[in-house]
Chains A and B, each alone.
Chain A
Amino acid sequence: MAELTLTVVSPEREVLREEGVTLVLAPSVEGQLGILPRHAPLITQLAPGTLELRRGAETQHFSITGGFLEVMDNTVTVLADASENASEISRERAEAAREAAVRDLEEARRTHDDVMTTQARLALLRALARLRTVERARRG
């Protein structure tokens, strides 16, 4: 049976390279996307959310803050803006980051600071994607 190779790269590092993957679930901008082996070639944009991979009975979750996904010849390549394994994510820290981002965003909106608004908005999206991923991983 054909299997998938999944590579996740962020600008900072290669986050993951897994062979023998049987299913990839990714948050496309058009909705949840499931990729099985022998999927047709595809290029799509990803929304912030959770990337899930299954290899037999084993499941792994990754947070993703948006990016792009390409399927070609049973190889799935994800260009993530940033990505982390669910096990690397600290719930408390993500929650604290979310609260800090919300505060910064309000502050930036009040002072009309464009740079700060952008930073705060990105920070908020990252924190939310992390929290959702931890939640998904916990539920299994």
Chain B
Amino acid sequence: MNATARPKPFRLLTWIAAAIAAVLVPAAPASATTIERVISPGGIEAWLVRESAVPLIAVEFAFVGGAIQDPPGKAGTAVMVASLLDEGAGDLDSKAFHERLDRKAVELNFEAERDAVHGSLRTLSENRDEAFEDLRLSLTAPRFDPAAVEIIRGQVQSLVRRGAMNPNEMARLRWWQTAFADHPYGRPVNGTLESLPMITSDDLRTYARRVLARDNLKVAVVGDIDAEAVKAMLDRVFGALPAKAELNPVATVPPRGLGQRVVIKLDVPQAVVTFGGAGIARKDPDFIAAYIVNHILGGGAFSSRLYQEVREKRGLAYTVYDSLVWLNHSALFLGGTATRADRAGETLDVIEKEIHRLAEEGPTEAEIAKAKAYLNGSFALNLDSSVKIAALLVQLQLDDIGMDYFARRPALIDAVTLEDARRVAKRLLDGGLLVTVVGRPEGIASSAD
């Protein structure tokens, strides 16, 4: 609900919020919740939800191993690969390929994030054969034509330049660079003006061969299609990919720099703040309790403590939020706000005080009850469109928490006790904050200053 300016990494959180909230809702129509596991003759798995009310098909998929698999010194490789998969494939150059997509109104998108390369296909049911062929070509026969590579390189460089004038982007980037110095998570996903020119066509091809494989692939299909057709699609589209991905090992690490403040001077009227600390892993038994605690601190609803204290009572900011972020090789809580320069110090004090208070005293029984009701009730809102359901099913697979997760969800949420929440609030929030600020904040100085 922090509708504005949600940074990219949080996209996943929305889905997970859904997953977590998944259950108490009265049974949805069978079509919306019945998940079939489909395995093709070639051994490729997909999760399918059949829904014929609207004549379209949504396919979402992900290859584990995103930007963190960029070669050393070549940050931005995954982003360039993702951008180039629909820039010409097989016998079709970029122009011909796009014209082909357009003629049948096929939507095909790829996106690289830290831990995975995501793909998404949307088509009218009547055009599904053409759409599946487009997808097959893009994944198994991308051309990486030199002209297309240069265009995409220019676009990513341009994104990086634009980011350099965006205080939100700057604050976030510095946070990740500081928390994960010397770790792949510290590298900008879009790369840098230094790294992007170093990426060669060979790098792109090598990355695609290493990462676009079958053993790290997660697929979900939702829409007007049956299991037999999905099986045929799976083998046709993904069958020619290498059986095994070649992923470089990545160390699992906590964020560093906790307790530090970093100020980046920029002449803007509003100071933009990113704050965060060590989180709790997705499969940790305390995860659900942490999710509840985070919701109370700065999660979705307008009732969160940070929202009330920073925005409602004091009018210090338009946006203030906190989210859990779980990665394959780390876990965080990460929040942000933006506030006028002359009250930046006060704003950060309020945030730190609230975090400290929650760590020390824990939430109240009433807050926990409300958070549970919210998380349970909001689930269905994430299952009202084929595209949303497909994205959620991919996320469940990436998180490796099982197809029966929805059914187990209510019990997991309801099992969290006041004692659990207090203990986990302390565990989650007592480890110190790394804070980055962009602007001319009064009352905040860099620790190093």
Is chain B a partner of chain A in the same complex? no
Chain B residues engaging chain A, CB cutoff 8 angstroms: none
